[in-house]
Amino acid sequence: MIAAALLGLAMVGLAAVHGVEIAAFSLATSGHPAEAAAVLDGGQVVAPMVTLMVMFLAGAVLGTLTLAAAIWRSPLLPRLAAIGVIGFAVLDFALGSPLVSHLVAFANSLLIGWAVVSDYSRKTARGAH
């Protein structure tokens, strides 16, 4: 629940970042490159922008770590899924590799889906051996 709230904050912040990018793109493509550059240079930092950036950055980092911890602790999901969440974050945020990071996230989603559909449990898996 906490991870979902933090990631929700992150998505609101991300939407704001994309809104600024869309505004700059619209200005640039309509023949106003100087205004587009002014939108992106951050020369007019205001409290709402700072708040939204903090929501994005803190929500993304803390939400991802909290989600990974919850998956790690859950006996109903393989621990590899928690590693996949961290792997996505490292590839996407730190290394800037959006294609590979989203392929990792997709594979992780398939793993989680398989665990749910197959009624996976680490307790059952350990006891079966």
Per-residue pLDDT of the chain (129 residues; tens, 9 = 90+): 899 999 999 999 999 999 999 999 999 999 999 999 988 887 777 888 889 999 999 999 999 999 999 999 999 999 999 999 999 999 998 999 999 999 999 999 999 999 999 999 988 655 555
| Residue 106 Cα distances to 13, 57, 75, 87, 112, angstroms | 23, 22, 21, 12, 10
Domain spans, the chain: 2-128
Q: What is the CA radius of gyration of the chain?
A: 19
pTM: 0.82
Give Cα 101 distance to the centre of its chain.
Answer: 10
